[in-house]
Amino acid sequence: RKEVEQDPGPFNVPEGATVAFNCTYSNSASQSFFWYRQDCRKEPKLLMSVYSSGNEDGRFTAQLNRASQYISLLIRDSKLSDSATYLCVVHGGGTSYGKLTFGQGTILTVHP
């Protein structure tokens, strides 16, 4: 079983749609969680951290369920510029401090 699993998509949605991505992780000792965004032929960049209480940044909402080892990202009112690959990322902490494990990514295409 992969350490971090995501639905690879692709998701094709019209502008203005709401889209949700899910992710599960296998290591219950994982400490912190993130969503990174990667544009085509570019490097990954941090989109947002994910907190246990859930957090929101504009049109983006991230949720964490530690009991189910499940992370989600919700994008409301999709824009063309949201088209990218979204990577679910887990940080182990402890003796693995600093080390991130990346999911395979979910591809999103927003069309006019």
Partner 1 sequence: DAGVIQSPRHEVTEMGQEVTLRCKPISGHDYLFWYRQTMMRGLELLIYFNNNVPIDDSGMPEDRFSAKMPNASFSTLKIQPSEPRDSAVYFCASSFQSPEQFFGPGTRLTVL
Q: Which two tokens stand for residue 101?
A: 């494990």
6 versus 83: smaller Cβ distance to partner 1:
6
In angstroms, what is the minimal distance from the CB of 51 to partner 1?
A: 13
Q: Rank residues 16 and 94 by Cβ distance to partner 1 and give the closer one.
A: 94
Alpha-helix runs per DSSP H in 7-97: none
Residue 110 contacts partner 1 per CB under 8 A = no
By CB under 8 A, the residues from 63 to 92 that bind partner 1 are: 87, 91
x-or-dash pattern for partner 1, window 8-47, by CB under 8 A?
A: -----------------------xx-x-------xxxxx-
Beta pairing partners, 87: 36
Rounded (5°) CA angle 36-37-42: 120
CA angle 60, 22, 65 (to 5 degrees): 85
Question: Residues 76, 86, 58, 61: is their CA dihedral positive or negative?
Answer: positive
Interface residues toward partner 1, by CB under 8 A:
31-32, 34, 42-46, 49, 87, 91, 96-105
